[in-house]
Amino acid sequence: MTDRRRRKAPARRHVRTRQITPRTHWLLLSVLTVTLSTALLLHGYTHHMFGIASDDVSGPRGRNDTVPTQVVHGGPVIANAATSAHTAKVKARTVALTFDDGPDPVWTPRILDVLRRNQVHATFFVVGIQAVAHPELIRRIVAEGHQIGIHTFTHPDLARLAPWQRALELRETQLAVSGAAGITTALLRPPYSSANNALDDADWSVLQQADAAGYVTVLATRDAEDWQRPGVDRILAHATPHGHAGQIVLMHDAGGDRSQTVAALGTLLPRLKAQGFTFATVSDAVGMAAPVRPAGLGDHLQGIALISMLQAGDWVVWLLGLLMYAAGAISVLRAAVVLLAARRHRRLRTRRRSRSWGPPLTEPVSVIVPAYNESAGIEAAVRSLLTSDHPVEIIVVDDGSTDGTADLVEALHLPVRVIRRQNAGKPAALNTGLAAATYDLVVMVDGDTVFEPDTVRTIAQPFADPRVGAVSGNAKVVNRGGLLGRWQHIEYVVGFNLDRRLFDLAECMPTVPGAVGAFRRRALLDLGGVSDAALAEDTDLTMALCRAGWRVVYEEGAKAWTEAPASLNALWRQRYRWCYGTLQAMWKHRGALVQRGAAGKLGRRGLVYLLLFQVLLPLLAPVVDIFALYGLLFLDPLRMIGLWLAFLLLQFLMGLYAFRLDGERAGPLWSLPLQQFVYRQLMYLVVIQSVFTAVSGSRLRWQRMERYGSLQVPVVPPQDPGLPQQAPYDGFPEPTRYAGFPRPAPYDPLQRPAWYDGLPQPPPRPGFRQQPGPYETPQLYDANSEQSP
């Protein structure tokens, strides 16, 4: 493309076009990505790293050399563990009921109902993540006169955690309680704890750290073992005291089905009351002064923020999971539709070839080659056109090149018309060529592209149908060396060409690529020529033709070989311009959504397809990738890997079929797995950049592309001496002069598979020569305007 900075424009507009690339969106995207990743990490840690499990999962305990004797044989409430440890026992004939692992939305309310009916107060040791999920139950527990203790945030075995993780578990649980009910508590029951004599050295270190943080540890004297769900009678037997000694009874209100606990509790409370036992909270049972107090304003606000953040994280994870499955389903549906369309398209074209489009077209075709600093490839492009087996008029429009492109073409002394003009951009160069063209059929080709001998003839035949206004050819990547070249080759064959078959079948072709496209000249002139309102002038032009009622078709047999970007930076700039230009064209032609006829097909089929699969789906891709990593870390990694392999297999099968349709070898498809980790991310970042640029109202300048001189130059045999030589600027070739023009041997780049497959290039075969030395320097000019798809 021509760099618009060279165009004459008012100074104010020039200043504006220099301030074109918005930077704040990358900062915003980075902040959103970091925030989302942090939220997912926190959600994964709190929901999947540990979790509530049976109380016996921690396995056998170790030595207890550091546990004081008075603690081993003392009461279940332990204070001052870090200094001079002492314990407290429960008063005689007193039972302190304690419930772990809650609150649970099903079982906690039922247990509270039983306690209220029997006018009994108990102590609930809550798990932080459960308190976050059900803060209303924490408030109900407090409101009904029960006591709150903490049971860590995620229910891990504290003895197996690092000190900083222990502190985090306690602090976050305290904040959850503060945010839910506006209170703080000094009561702690470590998960998987039981009686005093079960403490080992690791457990004692936990109690010492908890004491330093201000907690009093509450163990149990009787374990109802309801976590095993042994039956109501067994739970009653385990929970009933023997004798008159006071007891702290361990039960559970969450962590699974607690129907047996509820049933046993309804029998236990009246029975023990009848035996003379009283029920109290832990602090009242041992005579502890006010372990539960109102929370400070700072803790309360932090707790509210924590609850809000984690609840939002739950919603985000749910939404991301939904979006991931939706994206997967849409991708599978798209693959099925595209493959079925490609199959039907092939069958229809096979039948049509037997009947043809109509009478064979033999009239000459005008070929317009817009060129700006194309010295690296212009000779190959021009010579390949002269090997055409169809009569052509070649017009090279030099758009103010500074590298001698026009001089080079003139020095070849070939029947080519060269028009020099001041630099004004590719649309202006194409319009200049249209004005100079002699014939009604016009082929447009980029200066970095070479045609096969039958390309012009093949792309011209659909115009036998008077309804056809434009024909898209089949652009192929010539520089397939390296991973980047292979990935673009796969994209051209699998992405662009499969989509074109679908668009052709649905009669809603959105783009005729600038690398190889043919048009009715009068149709273009009726539109006012090629517009420069969008960077993707080929997409804009194609959509305008569709809205004008012309049919646009795809002819896969019209092959052209074009240079693709050989660096990530060049690829980024090219695709950024393509995507931004496509968005411009879609917005410009949005009125097609409500029109009828051919325009309606473009709007309701083509534009909707582009919006769904070329804009919205890539915008969701980063979120899907982040959630996939979340799944690998915290969910079932085998399941996530299986989903990824299934998606990859689907892409591979699509690739095999697409390569078969295009007559390509399937070898490059081995790089598909690697493509998912680099190329795919680059493409959706391009879409994000383009969308932000469009939404912000910034104007993107014309991008320039490097030229590498990788095209081979076919040697055109000497012109028949009997034919008059054409001066560079004089006259146009007449149709009759091509009838006697000697035809060279066919130029077939497919006969050199090693070159096009990215392998080391062999010496040129006879009849070919490399570019001359002075023109091998890569030049910058983005003439390749093919859009995706």
Relative orientation angle of helices 568-588 and 537-547, to the nearest 10 degrees: 30
Q: What is the pLDDT of residue 24?
A: 62
* Residues in the chain with pLDDT values less than 50: 1-22, 354, 702-704, 715-789
CA atoms within 13 A on the CB side of 271: 10
Cα–Cα distance measured from residue 405 to residue 786, given in angstroms and rounded to the nearest whole number: 22
Cα–Cα distance measured from residue 252 to residue 54, given in angstroms and rounded to the nearest whole number: 11
Residue at token pair 């070839």? 353
- Which amino acid is it at 310? L
Cα–Cα distance measured from residue 112 to residue 118, given in angstroms and rounded to the nearest whole number: 10
- Give the Cβ contact number of residue 412 at 10 Å: 16
Q: What is the pLDDT of residue 185?
A: 97
Cα–Cα distance measured from residue 211 to residue 170, given in angstroms and rounded to the nearest whole number: 11
Radius of gyration of the chain (CA): 38
Cα–Cα distance measured from residue 756 to residue 665, given in angstroms and rounded to the nearest whole number: 11
CA atoms within 13 A on the CB side of 535: 28
Catalytic residue among 55, 100, 504, 540: 100
Q: What is the pLDDT of residue 678?
A: 85
Q: What is the pLDDT of residue 456?
A: 96
Q: Is 252 a catalytic residue?
A: yes
Q: Alpha carbon 768 to chain centroid distance?
A: 44
Q: What is the pLDDT of residue 433?
A: 95
Catalytic residue among 47, 252, 390, 589: 252
Residue 527 vs residues 133, 434, 436, 539, 600: alpha-carbon distances, Å: 62, 12, 17, 14, 18
Question: Tokens for 733?
Answer: 């070739």
Residue 126's H or E segment, with its range, is strand 123-126
Q: What is the pLDDT of residue 749?
A: 36
Question: What are the beta bridge partners of residue 392?
Answer: 365
Residue at token pair 């075709």? 365
Spatial contact of 148 and 141, defined as CB atoms under 8 Å apart? yes
Question: Tokens for 578?
Answer: 């393509």
Question: Tokens for 151?
Answer: 């049971």
pLDDT digits (tens, 9 = 90+) for 406-444: 999 999 999 999 999 999 989 999 999 999 999 999 999
Residues 745-784 as b or e (16 or more Cβ within 10 Å = b)? eebebeeeeebbbbeeeeeeeeebeebeeebeeebbbbbb
Residue at token pair 């690339």? 21
Q: Is 200 a catalytic residue?
A: no
Peptide bond into 766 cis (omega under 30): no
Q: What is the pLDDT of residue 349?
A: 78
Q: Which residues are within 8 A (CB) of 236 and not within 5 positions of it... i.e. 6 or more apart?
A: 264, 267, 268, 271
- Against a cut of 0.85, is the pTM above it? no
Q: Alpha carbon 634 to chain centroid distance?
A: 20
